[in-house]
Amino acid sequence: MLLRLGLAVVPTSLPRVHPAPIPLLQRTRSCLSRRRALLLPLSLPLSSSSAATMSAQPPPAPPVARKNPRELVEHGDARVDDYYWLRDDSRSDPAVLAHLRAENDYTAALMADTKQLEDEIFAEIRGRIKEDDIDAPLRKGQYYYYERTLTGKEYAQHCRRLVPTDGPVTVHDVMPTGPDAPAEHIILDENVKAEGHDYYSIATFKVSPSGKLVAYAEDTKGDEIYTVFVIDAESGEYVGRPLKGITCDIEWAGDDNLVYITMDNILRPDKVWIHKLGSDQSDDICLYHEKDDTFSLGLHASESKKYLFVESGSKNTSFIFYLDISSQGKELVVLTPRVYGIDTTASHRGNHFYITRRSEEFYNSELVACPLDNVSETTVLLPHRESVKIQDVQLFENHIAVYERENGLPKVTVYRLPATGESVGQLHGGRAIDFVDPAYAVEPEPSQFNSNVVRYYYSSMRTPPSVFDYDMDTGVSILKKINTVLGGFDASNYVTERKWAAASDGTQIPMSILYRKDMVNLDGSDPMLLYGYGSYEICIDPTFRGSRFSLVDRGFIYVIAHIRGGGEMGRKWYEDGKLLKKKNTFTDFISCAEHLIENKYCTKEKLCINGRSAGGLLMGAVLNMRPDLFKAAVAGVPFVDVLTTMLDPTIPLTTAEWEEWGDPRKEEYYYYMKSYSPVDNVKAQQYPHILVTAGLNDPRVMYSEPAKFVARLRELKTDENLLLFKCELGAGHFSKSGRFEKLREDAFTYAFILKALGMTPGLEASSL
């Protein structure tokens, strides 16, 4: 149940996620989280010729997309889509590619005068990274496992070292590294594997129970369709043939079987398989096929490593099967039944399954346990609470760590459990872990089941990513690793705060704020970047991000608006920002902007906004609703053609997301969606400066959505502001894959923002 990352439901297919703040080291994390941190290296054709022509000649005219009207009729309502032709599923239509290239050339030409600034910002951002580093080693079996990064290298090495002396894992445990320590062994070097690929991402890296083998899932395009390889952990040699066309959801079932999930033709994870090592993929056994196209499958191993859980979930309902690994089982057994509106997650310890269960009545989830031999005999361990949501639980031999949310902040409470043979009852006397910042982020990390140590990941907007080991018996927390931030970074220069804005219906919306004490006036004269997301019950907690300081050290105030549709304030927060309440997400964001202006954190003239993916939908919606409120907007891989996409079940995610956005084949949803869908609501009005990005191979938000949005804006807008579209032709949803090249996107975005605000040294604002 670990590593669900704020998704109360199973990791359903591919939500349109914003990128999580990218840890400096790629940590071994769940598929989903790793998927948030991908990308490919085909950069813009920033040809020197277009850059050179720029200074001497007037700026080129923006590309005009040809019109080819197509009538889309639903419920007797006709819409004319002039730019439907921009959608080419094969991504090879010469006319489409020529249009995207023309947009890229135009962007490059208009940004040519800030290229130097962009390079400087990139150098600054990169200069904050300690390039040779290792993450906190995790002791597992006979080894410490960790990832190492090297100076100048884009990717990580996966390493291990023998544990010299056996003994219990404690918070004081340190991996020996001296001359007498066991030698480091590099199991896999991603830099070597990535050679010859424009894009390279390893999403899952799983060591077999004996420690002898490793299975990893590789994507060389950014399309999130993986090939799974098994290698010998010592020799690195391939074992058997690779498995093709897989999701990155894989688990070992013993040392000789792999369980994995495949997708249907709309990339919905629909089948779970078991593969015997050495046999042919075509001989693999399908354990379950989920035929309902609103459901997607997920997979995880219990912390005890005795069971695998297969979850089938929609946005509102999920049910679970288990596979008993210890008995070499090859059949799934129902653990929780499929009941509409009931959402469950499971784990195991001793004689019990531990289950979190959410229903309409118990919307923030309750925690129950049942004996292995009678799953209907449930005992409530933690009852439902209106103000506290249970987000995740992590089990240990003697303890349970419960990841919760209260008042917009994460919390972790640990309880001692009765001995494994005994029955369990309601939990009492929990101990909460203390955190220092007024707003922060905490996530579970893989920990050792048979220890008293829970490992967690902590950061805030001013505290670099940190890994702590917490002794659940004594309450002692030991910092195992804090990322070094170079370039003169000093956390004490910065302030981070939590503020609240009143929404139009009076609801209080939390915001996280970061600024540099000696750089701001707080009198309305400071520039601001306001970030928002607000979908899928995902929590955009205030994590650390090194690149952000390139704006903050230039005097920007950086704010995250924790608007409805996200999960920051519990399940209701999500439900109040989806389906027929989706517009709360947009109006909350507008209320936050207005509150910040009223309270002199900024003015309209200096307010920039940013959102990606479903947060890009937010950008599109608020730009149409309140174009006067913002100076500049950056919409990354934006989901802006909501109505047309949600009417088309052949597009990935559509069917799985009828419960998120609504099913527009029903009239009520159709008209509601039509009233906010950004492409359908572009008007002849003045818009701020806008930068839109896309990835040609993106399976989550098709590149054509932003392309159409830009074409509509070009056609209708009445202002002279910048409108730029940058489509990465060799990447997917997460832009480039290398850790440095990925940061180019931040540098480019910040250069755009500084240019839009006239904050580019030596550049006249009029040259915009």
Ligand X SMILES: *[C@@H]1O[C@H](CO)[C@@H](O)[C@H](O)[C@H]1NC(C)=O
Q: Residue numbers of the site for ligand X (CB under 6 A)?
A: 316, 341, 359-360, 374, 376-377, 579, 659
Taking the least distance from each CB to ligand X, the nearer of 320 and 622 is 320
Element (H, E) at 226: strand 226-232
249 catalytic residue (yes or no): no
Q: Residue 184 burial (CB < 10 Å; 0-12/13-18/19+)? A: middle
Structure tokens at 244: 């093709």
- Closer by beta carbon to ligand X, 170 or else 316: 316
| Closer to ligand X by Cβ: residue 359 or 493 | 359
**Residue 170 · residue 453 · CB < 8 Å:** yes
The torsion region of residue 207 among left (phi > 0), alpha (psi -120 to 50) and beta comes to beta
Q: Is 647 exposed, middle or buried (0-12, 13-18, 19+ CB in 10 A)?
A: middle
Shortest Cβ 340–ligand X spacing (Å): 6
Question: Is 613 among the residues known to form the active site?
Answer: yes
Retrieve residue 543's tokens.
């994590």
Question: Which CB sits closer to ligand X, 377 or 386?
Answer: 377
Q: Which residue has the tokens 């010469």?
A: 94
732 by Cβ neighbours in 10 Å (0-12 / 13-18 / 19+) ranks as buried
The continuous run of DSSP H or E covering 34 comes out as helix 31-35
> Is 766 a known active-site residue?
no
DSSP code per residue over 512-571: EEEEEGGG---SS-S-EEEEE---TT--------GGGHHHHTTT-EEEEE--BTBSTT-H
**HSE-CB for 345 with a 13 A CA cutoff:** 28
Which residues, 6 or more positions from 566, have their beta carbon under 8 angstroms from its beta carbon?
533, 534, 535, 536, 537, 538, 539, 540, 573, 574, 577
CA distances from 474 to 20, 400, 415 (A): 32, 15, 12
Rounded to a whole number, what is the largest CA-CA distance in the chain? 81
Nearer to ligand X, 283 or 361 (CB): 361
- Would you say 431 and 475 are in contact if contact means Cβ atoms under 8 Å apart? yes
Between residues 314 and 749, which has the closer beta carbon with respect to ligand X? 314
Q: Between 245 and 341, name the residue whose CB sits nearer to ligand X.
A: 341
Q: Which residue has the tokens 């940590």?
A: 27
User: Which residues 6+ apart lie within 8 Å of 477 measured at CB?
Assistant: 171, 433, 434, 468, 469, 470, 471
C-beta of 377: minimal distance to ligand X in Å? 4
Could you tell me the smallest distance in angstroms from the CB atom of residue 278 to ligand X?
Answer: 40
Q: Are 628 and 607 contacting, i.e. CB atoms less than 8 angstroms apart?
A: no
Q: Using the minimum distance from each CB to ligand X, give the nearer residue, 340 or 718.
A: 340
Q: What is the DSSP letter of 334?
A: E
Strands 494-502 and 453-459: unpaired
| One-letter identity of residue 248 | C
As given in the structure block, the two tokens for residue 699 are: 């399976």
By C-beta, is 53 or 359 nearer to ligand X?
A: 359
- Helices marked H in 626-703 — which ranges? 642-646, 658-661, 667-674
Residue 726 bridge partners (DSSP): 693
Q: Vertex 343, ends 337 and 348: CA angle to 5°?
A: 75
Q: Choosing from 613, 677, 735, 737, which is the catalytic residue? A: 613
Of 247 and 318, CB closest to ligand X: 318
Minimal CB distance to ligand X: which residue?
A: 341
Encoded amino acid at 46, one letter:
L
Q: How far is the CB of 152 from ligand X (least distance, A)?
A: 49
Q: Smaller CB distance to ligand X: residue 50 or 296?
A: 296
297: Cα separation from own chain's centroid: 18
Q: Among the options 81, 189, 588, 698, which is catalytic?
A: 698
Q: Give min distance, CB of 339 to ligand X, in A.
A: 9
- Residue bearing tokens 């090194």: 546
> Residue 215 or residue 579: which is nearer to ligand X going by CB?
579
What lies within 8 Å, CB to CB, of 519 at 6+ separation is 552, 553, 554, 555
Rounded to 5°, angle at Cα 563 from 561 and 565: 145
Instruction: Name the catalytic one among 201, 365, 733, 737.
Output: 733
The two structure tokens encoding residue 366: 């309750």
Report in angstroms how near the CB of residue 582 gets to ligand X at its nearest: 12
SS (H, E, C) 102-127: HHHHHHHHHCHHHHHHHHHHHHHHHH
- Tell me the C-alpha distance between 546 and 589, whole Å: 24
Minimum gap (Å) between residue 381 Cβ and ligand X:
16
Query: Which of 60, 371 has the CB closer to ligand X?
Result: 371
Q: Give least dist CB 361 to ligand X, A.
A: 8
Kindly provide the residue ranges of all beta strands, DSSP E only, lying in 302-451, ordered along the sequence: 307-313, 318-324, 333-336, 343-349, 352-358, 366-371, 379-382, 388-395, 399-406, 409-416, 431-432, 441-444
**Spatial contact of 756 and 173, defined as CB atoms under 8 Å apart:** no
Least Å from the CB of residue 565 to ligand X: 13
Q: Compute the least distance from the CB of residue 571 to ligand X, in Å.
A: 11
Name the residues annotated as catalytic.
613, 698, 733
